[in-house]
């Protein structure tokens, strides 16, 4: 009886450790195009009308220096914004070299900080400031994902992207 109980306890402990594996130990795909991720993510998002793309060249010209300075570290990207009717925007960037992932993440954190602290920018869409304040950046392997959306939108963006990239 003691042996069975011991085996059961060991099995339960192993199972609980496996189910509590932190995200840093999860394996992510590295071969999914950002456009594929965008297409799948947007089936789960409710976004303001008029969402537009910014390609790499436009990002270099239009974005904050924090983002334009890291574009050479990225080999695939999607950046969507609402072209003038809300603060809704999100990005999925694939970083070419794993050693640069933290640099790209920090660039988006700086980008968000600049927007949050720009008092004129905050007045563009009254009532939408919470999207700037709650914007987040997540990392899934070599993918850096940024979202300035509603809470529901950010959750859908991050959950869907993570599920699509997790290796089973």
* Predicted pLDDT of residue 81: 84
Q: What is the pLDDT of residues 6-16, one digit of tens each?
A: 554 444 444 44
Annotated domain spans of the chain: 28-165
pLDDT at 3 over 60: no
Residue appearing with tokens 């529901």: 152
- Which is more confident, 20 or 138? 138
**pLDDT value at position 63?**
63
- The per-residue pLDDT for 134 is 97
* Mean pLDDT to the nearest integer, 132-137: 96
Residue 103 has a pLDDT of 97
The neighbour count for residue 4, using CB atoms within 10 Å, is 8
- Give yes or no for residue 67 having a pLDDT over 70: yes
Please count the CA atoms within 13 angstroms of the CA of 149 that sit on its side-chain side.
Answer: 25
28: which strand partners?
A: 166
Nearest to 157 by CA among 168, 24, 143, 167: 143
Out of 6-15, 21-30, 144-153, the most confident range is 144-153
Band of residue 31 on the pLDDT scale cut at 50, 70, 90: very high
pLDDT at 96: 97
pLDDT digits (tens, 9 = 90+) for 75-133: 999 988 887 788 999 999 999 999 999 999 999 999 999 999 999 999 999 999 999 99
Give the pLDDT of residue 2: 53
pLDDT at 44: 86
CB 77 within 8 A of CB 54: no
């Amino acid at each position: 009886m003691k042996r069975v109980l011991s085996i059961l306890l060991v099995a339960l402990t192993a199972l609980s450790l496996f189910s509590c594996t932190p995200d840093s130990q999860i394996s992510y795909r590295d071969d999914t195009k950002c456009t594929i991720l965008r297409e799948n993510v947007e089936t789960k998002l409710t976004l303001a009308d008029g969402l537009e793309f910014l390609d790499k060249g436009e990002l270099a010209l239009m974005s904050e220096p924090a983002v334009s300075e890291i574009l050479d570290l990225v080999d695939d990207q999607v950046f969507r914004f609402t072209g003038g009717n809300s603060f809704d925007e999100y990005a999925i960037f694939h970083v070419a070299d794993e050693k640069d992932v933290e640099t790209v993440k920090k660039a988006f954190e700086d980008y968000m900080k600049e927007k949050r602290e720009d008092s004129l920018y905050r007045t563009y869409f009254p009532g939408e400031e919470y999207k700037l304040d709650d914007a987040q950046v997540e990392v899934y392997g070599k993918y850096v994902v940024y979202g300035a959306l509603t809470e529901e939108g950010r959750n859908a963006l991050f959950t869907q992207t993570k599920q699509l990239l997790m290796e089973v």
